[in-house]
């Protein structure tokens, strides 16, 4: 299946000083966030990518045009550096299409710009380029395939570390608990889509919430509830936490690396209905 990745956002909360690299190119270990997302899909055999570019497009193009396989693969160097023999490869079987979808476009508009690349597919995948997970993608695809939905999203518990409190009419606090215990659900991306999604998209609007809201009356939006590992790298704090996990060798999302992923794909996908999904 083709995989559409949204890579064109400004990523203002990720910036540091005059740094100009787009958020998907922020490094986690030796590779950018975007690479980690693509490796997740490639692990399940989905290697035909369509990158929706905008801000920082040149950085994304340059990275892959000058891709260095030796950074993440073992190799033998011979003949004074003139002969490099790789033991394995990351992207040899990848097909990557680079499309400029506009500097200030919404996610929905970016998807409309690449319509011709996916509209003849029975189903296709789409995602933000800055979220990592170990969700069981084959099960998600199969559940969507057997449904009548036009779109599905990964619904994850709200990620805030804040606490909520219960208060009496006399302003006495009776309970303090993490927001996650409320079991509200957040849009975690990892979309599975049918081409009918394009009928719900409009210029100047977004996919979430505008297009998705048009799917609700006919019950054509499916939530795939997931309580396993999921992280969005929205801020420097988020990226620092992912870096810490990477250097500690605890990387659940790296399903392709048995030395780091901690045991393989999560089975925490829930099929029973829950609360409505919230916007990303």
**Beta pairing class for 151-157 and 185-187:** antiparallel
Per-residue pLDDT of the chain (280 residues; tens, 9 = 90+): 999 999 987 765 455 544 567 889 999 998 999 999 999 999 999 999 999 999 999 999 999 999 888 777 777 888 766 777 877 777 889 999 999 999 999 999 999 999 999 999 999 999 999 999 999 999 999 999 999 999 999 999 887 767 888 898 888 888 888 777 777 889 999 999 999 999 999 999 999 999 999 999 999 999 999 999 999 998 888 899 999 999 999 999 999 988 887 666 666 777 554 444 444 4
Q: How much is the pLDDT for 117? A: 97
Angle of CA points 244, 158, 147, to nearest 5°? 110
Q: Which CATH architecture has domain 2-156+185-267?
A: Alpha-Beta Complex (3.90)
Q: How much is the pLDDT for 276? A: 44
Strand partners, 31: 28
In eight-state DSSP terms, residue 17 is: T
Distance between CA atoms of 108 and 197, rounded to whole angstroms? Answer: 10
In eight-state DSSP terms, residue 94 is: -
Domain edges within the chain: 2-156+185-267
Which DSSP string corresponds to 98-121? EEE--SS--HHHHHHHTHHHHTTS
Contact yes or no for 189/154 (Cβ under 8 A) = yes
């Amino acid at each position: 299946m083709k995989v559409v990745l949204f890579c064109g956002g400004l990523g203002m909360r990720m910036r540091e000083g005059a740094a100009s690299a787009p958020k998907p190119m922020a490094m986690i270990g030796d590779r950018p966030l975007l690479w980690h997302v693509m490796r997740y899909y490639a692990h399940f055999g989905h290697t035909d990518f369509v990158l929706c570019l905008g801000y920082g497009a040149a950085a994304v193009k340059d990275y892959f045009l000058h891709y260095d396989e030796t950074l993440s693969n073992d190799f033998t160097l011979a003949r004074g550096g003139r002969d490099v023999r790789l033991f394995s490869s990351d992207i040899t079987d990848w097909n990557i299409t680079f499309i400029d979808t506009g500097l200030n476009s919404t996610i929905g508009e970016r998807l409309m710009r690449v319509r011709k690349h996916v509209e003849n597919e029975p189903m296709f995948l789409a995602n933000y380029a800055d979220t990592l997970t170990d969700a069981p993608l084959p099960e998600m695809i199969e559940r969507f395939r057997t449904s009548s939905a036009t779109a599905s999203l990964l619904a994850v518990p709200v990620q805030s570390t804040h606490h909520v409190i219960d208060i009496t009419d006399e302003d006495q606090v009776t309970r303090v608990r993490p927001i996650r215990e409320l079991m509200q659900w957040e849009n975690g991306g990892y979309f599975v889509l049918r081409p009918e999604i394009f009928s719900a998209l409009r210029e100047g609007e977004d996919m979430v919430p505008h297009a998705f809201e048009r799917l609700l009356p006919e019950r054509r939006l499916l939530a795939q509830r997931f309580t396993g590992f999921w992280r969005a790298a929205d801020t420097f704090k988020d990226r620092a936490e992912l870096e810490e996990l990477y250097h500690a060798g605890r990387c659940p999302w790296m399903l392709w690396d048995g030395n780091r992923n901690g045991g393989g794909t999560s089975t925490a996908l829930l099929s029973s209905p829950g609360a409505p999904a919230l916007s990303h």
